Amino acid sequence: MSDRVLIFDTTLRDGEQSPGATMNHQEKLQLARQLEKLGVDIIEAGFPASSEGDRESVKRIAREVNHARVVALARAVPEDIQTAWLSVEKNRQPGIHTFIATSDIHLNSKLRMSRDEVVQRAGEAVRLARSFSDWVEFSCEDATRSDHDFLCRVIQTAVDEGACTINIPDTVGYSFPEELAELIRKIRAKVAGIENVIMSVHCHNDLGLAVANSLAALRAGARQVECTVNGIGERAGNAAIEEIVMILKTREQALGFHTGIATEQIFHTSRLVTSITGISVPPNKAVVGANAFSHESGIHQHGILRDRSTYEIIHPESVGISRSLLVLGKHSGRHAFRERVRELGYNVTEEEINRIFRRFKDLADRKKTVFDEDIEALVAEEVLRISKTYKLLSVTVMSGSDVVPTATVRMEINGKECHGAELGNGPVDATYNTILKLTRRRPNLLRFSISSVTGGTDALGEATIRLEEKGNLAVGKGTHEDILVASAKAMVNALNMLDYLSSAEKRSTKL
């Protein structure tokens, strides 16, 4: 059996199902390109049957990704499978991932199907998918809570119909590592022909065991792990790709596995996902957290200065974290700036470079130093964020201990300039009241946070908000040296995202 572990990245599908993590076309394409640069084997680009917007994103990713296999998710339904194939067929290595639930809980409460009906549906789905593609993955949803004999029966059917990968999802993060390992061993022992297919696992983190379960499955014979960047995903998320990969690399001698991941791209990929989704990485997050390579204790600092291996089992450079944080300054030219943007993992056009470079030069004139994080913030704002319907032109806020906070805002709405002023309980509240009055929107503000992009009193401020309107969730981010301006930009970005989601929903309804 090969010791090569395939990395199946589902950030664009399962990861996007994190509350508020919806991505637009440009964001998905940027992330897909970075995942390819990271070296993942398989990119699950989306669930095309869910909406027209998802279909178009998957199609574009399939056309533009050259090295990784691009696959689409489909229920065990003929229409889903055909739609999935039409979405990925232009990729060099297209694939279809189809699934059906196998636990009695799902059969009785969700599917309302008998076990025989599920077996039949699974076989028909794999057979149809194989008529389109040589690469078909079949998943048994909620496998770890399924009757093992029935699970093996379903898997046998999928293998007999030509599935090349069998995925065992711990859909609700219920399993213990030793339980999942035993299940993998049982399937390998009972299913004829299983030695000719790849066994995969997809572990959720509801009990904090997603990574441990994935590793246990590998040791029991699985050779593919489905995971997401930063571990984002439904509920408590998925197994984190950066943790899986760095465990396999750091403990390769003990585990005996390796991957094809370019680990130097891990940190930039993590930052890109954070920038796109607005879901921050906790400081103590393994591998990519801000404190992962920080040493405050005097004893630790002394040890690190003598020998880094005393307290660092991973060198920061191996995951793409440079010890030299300073990147560019106000005297830097366009060529150097363009190269740095591309080194950070962004694929941008010359027109986009020109826009970002102008912002960079303005920022460099006002800041003492410019960091990678500053550049990433500018790229996110100028390239990744949708900014069609609403555009912020200016914001002026009057606030203090002895005045009622008042905000005056100038905006462009559908190409027409307008302005207004409103009061509020604080400067941000006043600003948001004004913007919402001008746009005539009334979304629910679910979350508001502000942070410093880098250190120093002249650091860029970053505001992140999450809005909900008519069932749609949107994240907005804004950056500026003035945190109030950043907050206003975040609101405008979120409103543009809501407008995009609403339009996509209307297009999907017409189909």
- Give pLDDT tens digits for 374-407: 787 788 777 766 667 899 999 999 999 899 999 9
Helix (H) or strand (E) run with residue 58 in it: helix 52-64
Residue matched to tokens 């004893």: 299
Whether 324 shows a pLDDT value over 50: the answer reads: no
Question: Which are the contacts of 277, defined by CB distance < 8 A and separation ≥ 6?
Answer: 15, 18, 20, 21, 23, 232, 475
- DSSP code of 111? I
pTM for the model stands at 0.80
Q: In this structure, what is the dihedral angle of CA atoms 108, 112, 116, 118, given to the nearest 10 degrees?
A: -100
Please give the average per-residue pLDDT across 202-221, as a whole number: 98
Residue 333: its pLDDT value, please?
80
How sure is the predictor about 360, in pLDDT bands with cuts at 50, 70 and 90?
A: confident
Q: Residues 209-221: what's their mean pLDDT?
A: 98
Q: Over 60: is that where the pLDDT of 200 sits?
A: yes
Helices marked H in 241-297: 241-250, 252-255, 266-277
Residue where the block lists tokens 């069609």: 388
Backbone φ and ψ of 465, nearest 5°: -130, 155
Which residues are registered as beta bridge partners of 463?
Answer: 450, 478
Q: What is the mean pLDDT of the chain?
A: 89
Helix (H, G, I), strand (E, B) or coil at 330: coil
Q: What are the structure tokens assigned to 214, written together? A: 């994935």
pLDDT of residue 454: 67
Among 270, 285, 247, smallest CA distance to 320 is for 270
The terminus-to-terminus CA distance of the chain in angstroms comes to: 46
Interatomic CA distance for residues 307 and 299, integer angstroms: 12
* Burial tier of 296 (Cβ tally within 10 Å: 0-12, 13-18, 19+): exposed
Residue 511's pLDDT is 42
Could you write out the DSSP letters of every residue in 421-467?
EEE-SSHHHHHHHHHHHHHT---EEEEEEEEESSSSTTPPEEEEEEE
What is the three-class DSSP state of 201? Answer: strand
